[in-house]
Amino acid sequence: YDLRLPPPTLEDLRSDGSRLQAQLAEEYGLADLSFDFELLRRLPDLLRGNEWSGSVALRGREVIGFLPPGQEFLGLAIDLGTTKIAGYLVDLVTGQLLAAKGVLNPQIRYGEDVMSRISYAMKEGATRLQEAIVGALNDLAQALCGECGLEAEQILEAVVVGNTAMHHLFLGLPVAQLGLAPYIPAVSEALEIKARDVGLSIAPGGYLHLLPNIAGFVGADHVAVLLATGIHEAEQATLGLDIGTNTEITLAVGGRLLSCSCASGPAFEGAHIKDGMRAAGGAIERLRIVDSQVEYQTIGDLPPVGLCGSGVLDAVAELLRLGIVDEKGAMRDHPRVRRIDRDKEFVLVEEGESGLDREIVITRRDIGEIQLAKGAIRAGINVLLSEAGLTDSDLEEVIIAGAFGNYIGIESGVAIGMLPPLPLERFKQVGNAAGMGAKIALISKEMRAQAAQIARRVEYIELTNYPSFAEEFTRSMRLGPAR
Amino acid sequence: YDLRLPPPTLEDLRSDGSRLQAQLAEEYGLADLSFDFELLRRLPDLLRGNEWSGSVALRGREVIGFLPPGQEFLGLAIDLGTTKIAGYLVDLVTGQLLAAKGVLNPQIRYGEDVMSRISYAMKEGATRLQEAIVGALNDLAQALCGECGLEAEQILEAVVVGNTAMHHLFLGLPVAQLGLAPYIPAVSEALEIKARDVGLSIAPGGYLHLLPNIAGFVGADHVAVLLATGIHEAEQATLGLDIGTNTEITLAVGGRLLSCSCASGPAFEGAHIKDGMRAAGGAIERLRIVDSQVEYQTIGDLPPVGLCGSGVLDAVAELLRLGIVDEKGAMRDHPRVRRIDRDKEFVLVEEGESGLDREIVITRRDIGEIQLAKGAIRAGINVLLSEAGLTDSDLEEVIIAGAFGNYIGIESGVAIGMLPPLPLERFKQVGNAAGMGAKIALISKEMRAQAAQIARRVEYIELTNYPSFAEEFTRSMRLGPAR
């Protein structure tokens, strides 16, 4: 709402608050308004510094923002991952994306995965973890605005999605009960809070919206994925996977939404893999073995320095296809296979070709890590299917979300049996759907209501508590297409 | 709402928030609730620490408090004066007063009166002033609770009333525009904010309610006085005065409420008076001169060490009655009158009788201070009466609020012409009505609505801007009953 107020005179002694309210009532017919308290603290200077003109932002009946004439109100969407944070700056009026940026989650210093951060928080207190993440988000907001010549103070609303642990650690909610069975979140409902209550430096009266969590290990980020991909509205049996250290899986069928989370481990992030690395320059991201020659593609076309998740997946699939690795993960002899210590390894890149001063290899142990990851994901899928009374072939669509999921070779995933053996056209790779979901929720109230509905509708299945899960898991460790 | 929740099990994985909401829905039919964010941060520990039982407090649809079984929710009413702070601890369920306590306003260090504090804030920043007052209120809350064996965390709601400057300085609202003509408040509407937003340490989700201000120099404390005394509902012409460094005056007549504020100065607080002092032990509070002998009464019946406001007032009235002081304030010769430097003084207490090692006197200059104070108050009353087309004798009731107003001799006030010449039975001394108003507003929503109405109804008259005020003021300095 654009306004120009009459300044006070000796005959017009109304307070700044009353003056602004009266003008909003007169020009726009708005009544019974209240003021955000932090905004009120700055209002006298803002009004006097801008010749009593500017734009006013309301949220319901609360006046939460005031900007000098000509400035726009902004929104910030954040996908708060365990490893990476993605931020999106949006024009709240037009809905246009103004800038996007990814940074590492600085909490990594305190633990690589969710569980190690929870135990850090339980031992050392969660304050440092919270400060780290809030600081990173403030820097990110600054950087995004800086790119566009805008101010973080123009950001009126932020939507943050993350897994339940990131959500709790960001908000300073206790995590002790989240780290121990039965893994109970402090809150699962969507939250609307003042951004300042968590230390987020946006507009003084700005709000922070958090999409609902589903359970201890299925968080708001997965709700955002469902929202962005529309899986919750699917009419045919549809599977949605967000592959990461924890892989969240949802099966939509006949109006039901069944979800679970499996501890797939960090192998697909390149961790716990001898020559594994994050998806960065020089990482082998795709790989084929043709006539005993390894053909590969690296990020940025740089000399290879390691394998990122999709490269590891391809390597395992190729070794399996060529019979160099059997379905139990054992390596048979081969000119490129060598024995080192108590392990065996397959040389993927010779020293001369490598960007390092040594070969790049994949070991028997690496393959074991992939078996664990693949086994967990496949077992999760099987539990959901059996709960719904379905089999692989009933799935009409499989949607794979997440940065890793965007780059993997679907064929390799099917070949090792991580993904169901379906025609390739039934798979859809959608990239960072959690970030998309956050953006959607930032702009649309209606979509927030949908997100709340999704969270309520989901039937969550706790795998560690599921009768046949252990057995499914053991069986699913076998490499090769599902039988 | 008393609750006992089923603890989570492997088969019941609901979040703490959902669990509590479900129970409130089941037992009390409450739906669509939200949680205060700070409460949410503590909820997991509170629930687990109290075997999933306790009392829940709601404010509208917001869950703002949780207490272990058997503890009661409390309320805190504060009259935040420029000099003194009065606090009242109330049981929110029964409305019973549990404890009351007064302390000095620690901001005195930064300036005795409102204007000197505003100029301190403008020069040095207001942070120190705010911290001082918030610290004092937190200490006061602790002390009040301590007296009753209760915890400040049980306080769910606080109501604070004060003049507009105290209100702004307490909240950290800017005061620059309040210190310069035309003296505009940042806000005049009632405010409902989270207590933590100003640093008040009560229940984590506790609220702070501030009654509305009327103008730069008629604050929420005066609204509280009107609320407590019911002047706003008076059917006959009624005058209400809250005498202090600033004296607020309201005239209720024929459904109108006319208010003004006059700078009566600190003389009635004992300041700027040679032997003046605050109303403390040994202060002469009442005084008569019989046959050239001064009869007096001191606070605590201690040997006299000075004059508090009511004592000064009596002294002036007696000297005037005996013709020792004329209506211009000049002192004529008398055995007890002596000349010192360029001033004259009347010895009230001889050295031998005094609790000091010297006499206690009242000087020509002291009388001048009283003339200024009296002149300002009387001129304010006259302006309101003339606005309403009334004269003194039309007043059916005169209500005098405030600690000072409670102790003064009405006869003396009438005798020097500060108060209208009316029969004594038309005067009513009501003590700390501002504190009473705060208590009323603490317990009753309906009364808060009334307070908002009062503030809207009041027609504020800015005296410094009123055509005949200067003339009225000069005329009213004359000592003696109004003619």
- The pLDDT score that the predictor gives to residue A198 is 92
- The pLDDT score that the predictor gives to residue A5 is 63
pLDDT tens track for B305-351: 999 999 999 999 999 999 999 999 999 999 999 998 888 999 999 99
Q: Which residue is closest to A17 within chain B, CA to CA?
A: B187
Average pLDDT over residues B94-104: 91
- The pLDDT score that the predictor gives to residue B3 is 66
- Cβ distance A184 to B8 less than 8 Å, yes or no, reads yes
Nearest-neighbour CA in chain A from B17: distance (Å): 5
Domain locations along chain A:
2-67, 74-210, 229-483
- Cβ distance A15 to B187 less than 8 Å, yes or no, reads yes
- Cβ distance B187 to A16 less than 8 Å, yes or no, reads yes
Which of B8, B184, B187 lies closest to A40 in CB terms? B187
Nearest-neighbour CA in chain B from A148: distance (Å): 31
- Asked whether the CA dihedral B252, B253, B257, B262 is positive or negative, the reply is negative
Residue A481 DSSP symbol: S
Probe site for chain A from B11, B40, B61 (most A CB atoms < 10 A): B40
- The pLDDT score that the predictor gives to residue B426 is 95
Which of B15, B172, B181 lies closest to A186 in CB terms? B15
Q: Are strands B97-104 and B207-210 parallel, antiparallel or unpaired?
A: unpaired
ipTM of the complex: 0.73
| Segments in chain A below pLDDT 70 | 2-3, 5-6, 8, 483
Q: Count CB neighbours of B191 within 10 A.
A: 22
| B483 has pLDDT over 70 | no
Show residues of chain A in contact with B188, CB under 8 Å.
14-15, 17-18
Instruction: Calculate helix-pair angle for B220-229, B433-443, nearest 10 degrees.
Output: 80
Q: Which residue is closest to A213 within chain B, CA to CA?
A: B15
Probe site for chain B from A40, A169, A209 (most B CB atoms < 10 A): A40
- B290, with CB counted inside 10 A (0-12, 13-18, 19+), is exposed
Q: Which residue is closest to B16 within chain A, CA to CA?
A: A186
- Cβ distance B16 to A184 less than 8 Å, yes or no, reads yes
Spell out the residues 6+ positions from residue B296 whose beta carbon is closer than 8 angstroms to its own. B284, B286, B287, B288, B304, B311, B348, B349
Q: Which residue is closest to A193 within chain B, CA to CA?
A: B37
The CATH-assigned architecture of domain B2-67 is Roll (3.10)
**CA distance linking residue B48 with residue B301, whole number of Å:** 56
- The pLDDT score that the predictor gives to residue A451 is 93
- The pLDDT score that the predictor gives to residue A328 is 94
Q: What stretches of A322-421 show up as alpha helix (H) in DSSP? A: 364-388, 403-407, 410-416
Which residues, numbered 330 to 359 in chain A, qualify as contacts with chain B under a Cβ-Cβ cut-off of 8 Å? none
Structure tokens at A395: 């799935």
- The pLDDT score that the predictor gives to residue A278 is 86
Which of B18, B37, B185 lies closest to A193 in CB terms? B37
Least Cα distance to B419 among B269, B226, B263, B239 occurs for B239
> What value does the mean pLDDT of chain A take?
90
The CATH-assigned architecture of domain B74-210 is 2-Layer Sandwich (3.30)
CA A182 vs CA A102, A163, A214, B15, B246: distances in Å: 33, 17, 14, 10, 62
- Cβ distance B21 to A187 less than 8 Å, yes or no, reads no
Nearest-neighbour CA in chain B from A166: distance (Å): 14
| B88 has pLDDT over 90 | yes
pLDDT tens track for A15-68: 888 888 888 888 877 878 888 888 888 888 888 888 888 888 888 888 888 888
Higher pLDDT, B398 or B3: B398
pLDDT tens track for B10-69: 777 788 888 888 888 888 778 888 888 888 888 888 888 888 888 888 888 888 888 888
> What value does the mean pLDDT of chain B take?
90
Show residues of chain A in contact with B172, CB under 8 Å.
41
- Cβ distance A41 to B16 less than 8 Å, yes or no, reads no
Q: Which residue is closest to B210 within chain A, CA to CA?
A: A37
Secondary structure element (H or E) that encloses residue A452, with its range: helix A445-457
Which residues, numbered 188 to 227 in chain A, qualify as contacts with chain B under a Cβ-Cβ cut-off of 8 Å? 188-189, 191-194, 197, 213, 215-216
| B82 has pLDDT over 90 | no
CB distance from A62 to chain B under 8 Å?
no
Q: Which residue is closest to B213 within chain A, CA to CA?
A: A15
Q: Which residue is closest to B169 within chain A, CA to CA?
A: A41
- Cβ distance B186 to A34 less than 8 Å, yes or no, reads no
Which residues, numbered 414 to 473 in chain B, qualify as contacts with chain A under a Cβ-Cβ cut-off of 8 Å? 460, 462, 465
Q: How confident is the model at residue B284 (pLDDT cuts 50, 70, 90)?
A: very high
Instruction: Calculate helix-pair angle for A164-171, A114-124, nearest 10 degrees.
Output: 30
Angle at B108 between CA B102 and CA B112, to 5 degrees: 115
The torsion angle over the Cα atoms of residues B357, B362, B363 and B369, rounded to 10 degrees, is 130
